[in-house]
Structure 1
Amino acid sequence: MSNVKLGNPAVVGLGGFGLTTLLLQFHNIGLCGLGPVVAMGFVFGGLAQLMAGMLEHKNGNNFGFAAFSGYGSFWIGLGVIWLMNFYGVYKSSTTDVGYYLVAWTLFTVILWVASFFIHAAMATTFTTLLIGFILLDLGHFGFPILDEVAGYELIICALCAWYMMAAIIINDVAGRTILKVGQPWIKAN
């Protein structure tokens, strides 16, 4: 049984993270409405990432477990906020959403530091994610133009996540390294 090759749950987690992040940024820069973002926020960004996180737990990968479970929960929570606003169940103000984003910024700081020890592609993805969250935080606390700036910056983050997904898939099927992910920014002892 130990010789059976299993799929890497990170491909689903990175795929869901990248796709929903990309769709939300298309919304933030005015290219699409919120409908596709809400749908994928629940399904691919939320549920699929949450499942990927649970599988990372089974693999003993605490970073993947925290990241995918966490951001899967982020997307489900954000979708719930949007639905509650839409249906008037509980209206979250821009500042309310800002505090939600600040909490997720702090969560992201922890994973950002940990990403330095993984590889350059991971550290780059988390650096762009952290910058994007900070811009969104500022956008929700009085500088709304920064939401659009964050939109463009987080498109880069989404594409970085998809690059890692592509590296895992393409390198696996090719049986060799086609797409490199780079060395860790900090070497672990």
Structure 2
Amino acid sequence: MQNSKLGNPAVVGLAGFGLTTLLLQFHNLGICGLGPIVSMGFIFGGLAQLIAGFMEQKTGNNFGFAAFSSYGSFWIGLGIIWIFNHFQIYPSTGTDVGLYLVAWTLITAIFWVGSLFIHSAMAITFTTLLIGFILLDFGHFGFPAMNVAAAYVLIICALAAWYMMASIILNDLAGRELLKSGKAWIAKK
């Protein structure tokens, strides 16, 4: 039986995460409506990341499995909140959404620690994600200007995710390291 090379599911997970995160920040800056974010939240940020997460499990990558499955669920959950609000089915207040974000801040903190053991590109992505969530938390609990600050930080996060996606694709195609990921911020023992 011939072993064929399998694609790296992280490229789809990172692409979906980056694109949906970027679109939401355009919305938070007031330059994009909610429609594209809801659509991409369900399909690319949600479903595609879930699939990537499930495929990461098959490769034995616990971090990728947990992160992509979790953030895929985040986007689907956020999309459902927006749909429920639009149709006045179980409407969520700003505080309700704030608590949703606080919970995601906590899980992101766990992923952030894990990212420090992987490489610099991953650590930068999760550092900016964690800072973005913290700013959004403040934005939903009385400091709305923090939502704009969060948007700029999360645009950097989205671009960092796309950088990782590009490095996986381009390095594989070139057969050498064109885009570097950097060293882990904390060395494994």
TM-score by length of 2: 0.99
Unaligned 5+ runs, structure 2: none
| 1:49 paired residue number | 49
> What does residue range 138-177 of structure 1 map to in structure 2 within 5 Å?
138-177=138-177
Deviations 1:141-172 (A, max 9, x none): 00011111101110000000000000000000
Taking the aligned partners of 2:167 and 2:2, their CA distance within structure 1 comes to: 24
Taking the aligned partners of 2:2 and 2:104, their CA distance within structure 1 comes to: 37
One-letter amino acid matched to 1:34: L
- Tell me how far 1:178 sits from its aligned partner: 0.1
One-letter amino acid matched to 1:131: I
Taking the aligned partners of 1:23 and 1:17, their CA distance within structure 2 comes to: 10
| 1:187 paired residue number | 187
| 1:120 paired residue number | 120
- Tell me how far 1:90 sits from its aligned partner: 1.2
Unaligned 5+ runs, structure 1: none
Deviations 1:95-128 (A, max 9, x none): 0000000000000000000000000000000000
- Tell me how far 1:2 sits from its aligned partner: 6.5
> What does residue range 63-102 of structure 1 map to in structure 2 within 5 Å?
63-102=63-102
| 1:18 paired residue number | 18
Number of equivalences: 189
| 2:58 paired residue number | 58
| 1:36 paired residue number | 36
Taking the aligned partners of 2:22 and 2:117, their CA distance within structure 1 comes to: 26
TM-score by length of 1: 0.99
Taking the aligned partners of 2:144 and 2:66, their CA distance within structure 1 comes to: 30
Taking the aligned partners of 1:52 and 1:183, their CA distance within structure 2 comes to: 24
